[in-house]
Amino acid sequence: MRHKSLSQTVVFLLVILFALSSCGSSQSSENSCIPANTCISEVNSGEATTEETSGETETEVSSNEAETKVTSNEAETEVTSSEAKTEMPTISETTPSQSTEVTTPSQEPHESTEASEIALNAQCAILYDCGNDNVVHIKGSLSDRIYQASITKLYTAYIALKYLSSDEVVEAGNELDLVHHGSSIAYIRKGHRLTAEMLIEGMLIPSGNDAAYVLAAAAGRKIASDENLSSEIAVEIFVNEMNRIAKEDGLLQTHFVNPDGYHDNEHYTSLNDIVKIARISLSEPLIVKYTSLYTDKVYYASGENNTWTNTNKLLDPDSQFYRKTVIGLKTGHTDEAGYCLVAAEVSGGRYILSAVFGCQTSDMRFVDTTTLLNVIKAK
């Protein structure tokens, strides 16, 4: 019995050992899954990280797109700004359209049979309706010789623009020595550099004889294709060209000796030709731009600046002679010509021209011009 109990005890111990051995094997297998689970977890973490990285990339792309949109918006703003500048009114837009209002005269002005007596101070005068191509009133004769003084500068500007671009820079030189003492000037000095447009402005607003000579010399050299010509020869060539083209324009009673209108017995015109010169001037927008300005501050290409004021009181808002619808054209004065004025007014969609010569005082030319223009206004 003791032997049997011992055998049972041994068997029991063996069963226990076998059970313990099986349990250890099962635990080892479970522990082997932990690294696998851990790797899966790391993979999942990696995918999440990749997604986050992708998210950052998307954010960067979005940021780039935003920058692109901002740039696009800036471009759109610039375009809008440019369009706004284009739409802003300019002087030429506020002036009547030349193409529909006035054409270069193709025939002689003809007198109206309806002209009546009008009391004028001027020795000779004319009132002309461009819309009807009709002389409304005249004092004197269409063909009588008259001295045009600085009215000359209208045609000087017209001829110069045939050879010089408006933005061409011109340096004032020895031609200023040709300007007569006592002339009206724009205060241009040797070495000053101005564009051709500025020189035209300097002729038409302050009636600068200095501007006229600088412009004439520059254009004369262009005509001759010789930039080394002396000032005297260059100006002479320019004046010859004025006379040549004047004949082409039908100014058969006009002759020029200089570009500024300083008196010379051979420097003359007629009321007939003055009407033509005025109409030709109205056909050039750049001329009208400055004949219609009362005052302007200019900045030379060489850095200087100046303020020019027009002698035409019809353009001065503070003057008793101010007329809002007048757009020029030019004053003039010499002892021989007296006080002169060629004026243009917009009335009923067309231009009305008046010209008075030989007035005894400066104000008389504005009184006479007002009287003439009121004749049309009264109709």
Domain layout of the chain by residue ranges:
44-82, 100-378
**100-378 under CATH 1.10.287.3510, yes or no:** no
DSSP 133-158: TEEEEEES-TT--B--GGGHHHHHHH
Q: Is 326 helix (H, G, I), strand (E, B) or coil?
A: strand
In sequence order, which ranges of the chain are alpha helices (DSSP H)? Answer: 2-87, 91-94, 98-101, 152-160, 196-204, 209-224, 231-248, 271-282, 285-291, 362-378
CA distances from 140 to 54, 261, 364 (A): 95, 22, 17
Regarding beta strands 305-309 and 124-129, do their DSSP bridges make them parallel or antiparallel, or are they unpaired?
unpaired
Dihedral angle computed from the Cα positions of residues 332, 310, 215 and 189, in that order, rounded to the nearest 10 degrees: 110
User: Which residues are CB-neighbours of 148 under 8 A, at least 6 positions away?
Assistant: 254, 261, 267, 268, 269, 274, 332, 337, 340, 357
Predicted local confidence at residue 110, as pLDDT: 55
Greatest distance between any 2 Cα atoms in the chain: 174
Distance, CA of 187 to chain centre: 24
Ordered mean pLDDT values, 10 residues apiece, the chain (379 residues): 50 51 42 33 34 34 33 32 29 34 46 64 97 94 97 98 98 98 96 98 98 98 97 98 98 98 98 98 97 97 96 97 97 97 95 98 98 86
User: What is the H or E stretch that residue 125 is in?
Assistant: strand 124-129
The tokens for 8 are: 């049972």
Supply the pTM of this predicted model. Answer: 0.72
Predicted local confidence at residue 376, as pLDDT: 87
User: Which residues are CB-neighbours of 204 under 8 A, at least 6 positions away?
Assistant: 153, 154, 157, 287, 290, 291, 310, 328, 330
Contact (Cβ atoms closer than 8 angstroms) between residue 259 and residue 237: no
* DSSP 8-class letter at 314: G
